[in-house]
Structure 1
């Protein structure tokens, strides 16, 4: 336990300009609890070394002071209820601290203002996030950067078209919580996603305007169904393009919504934390199912008895391996 005297000594080193070794003292190397106690010893004005100035300037100064004490990964800026003026956001992002440190913009419950939304979307960055919640957006809204952030969350996405979605590429998260998309459009989008040569996103939620029907989507695909519950079914399949990094695709289907996610072959445990043992081998199972389908097709196409026998032996061997991994067949579909 550090004494108050010791903390005051640290404080003197840090904040007394007459102290000769102040510049050599490494405040960030102190334990966090010590740093916090040192800050508590200061009076409020001293904590920020306050100088009369603008709200934005003083806030930036406070952020810079805090970032010298704690590691900051970025600055989330949230506007709640009150819509900011264009003049204010221009001044805010003219400040170097806000311009360089922000990593998330959230508008929550703000009355839609095209100038403000366009201002933020014009700053699109694939490493940052944009969120617009509880705000009615115009049905004719368009912006070329609407889906060019790392995370793109729109509570009211009735303005989003199938064409907009098909242009999504290389982002992490997309949320379309309320749309005018039909079941056919959602099904068309999922089919395009499966067949796309590029990784479009890692996770996406789409809430349609009607019950989403997936019938026919899986006719030509190898699919593994996850036995969860009848109101929330998860299907696994593989991307058609072998060049995609995230080849394993999961489709979570509930009545009016779908959740889509793309995974690297063996990173499901890393991204989800501890998961049930039987779900850890999904990619291996999918590869075995794909191979089984290929062999069955070759078996049907050949009339050579020797080759048929070879194919039959290979198929039986695959079936045993698939069964060992916990797969059963229900209504002709592989299920785990």
Structure 2
């Protein structure tokens, strides 16, 4: 993938008003990914699956899409989550966020003056609610054998 390729695709008039972009397989450099992030729009979905992204990557628009799925998300930082606004679903796969990061984010989300995200899904190898929800009132609900933590 080259910068020229992304510029051509993302500026193609027939594709200019796309609603969904999915990147899968391979590797993408920061410059090409910047071009993708510049297309952020509240009516646009971005899914990135098995794609290698530089772990130090940051873009202020990374979480300004409507529906976001980042399967390989080791590059995602808590600062990204703070930029969420009126997103529908955010699904983050393999990441480097700590329980303390997520606890900080949840507290930020609770005290925020606008809707950030309707559903946030995070892959976690273990689940430690006492750390994740430290200092937060949580209600437990069970339905069809699943346990939900309602903040």
TM-score tier after normalising by the smaller chain length: 0.7 to 0.9
C-alpha distance in 2 between matches for 1:200 and 1:98: 28
Distance change >3 Å, CA 181–CA 218, structure 1 → 2: closer
Q: Which runs of 5+ in 1 are unaligned?
A: 1-83, 238-336
- State the Cα distance separating 1:86 from its structure 2 match: 2.6
If asked which structure has higher relative contact order (CA below 8 Å, sep 6+), I would say: 2
Structure 1 partner of 2:130? 215
Moved over 6 A (4+): none
C-alpha distance in 1 between matches for 2:7 and 2:135: 52
Distance change >3 Å, CA 133–CA 215, structure 1 → 2: same
Structure 1 partner of 2:8? 91
- Selected match of 1:187 from 97, 103, 107: 103
The question of 1:125 aligning with 2:44 is answered no
- Could you tell me the TM-score, scaled by structure 1's length? 0.41
**Which one has the bigger helix percentage?**
1
The question of 1:158 aligning with 2:74 is answered yes
CA RMSD of superposed structures (Å) = 2.3
**Which one has the bigger strand percentage?**
2
Bigger-Rg structure (1/2): 1
Count residues in correspondence. Answer: 150
Q: Which runs of 5+ in 2 are unaligned?
A: none
C-alpha distance in 1 between matches for 2:29 and 2:68: 18
Q: Is this contact kept in 2: 1:139–1:158, CA < 8 A?
A: yes
Structure 1 SS opposite 2:106: helix
- Selected match of 2:118 from 202, 207, 210: 202
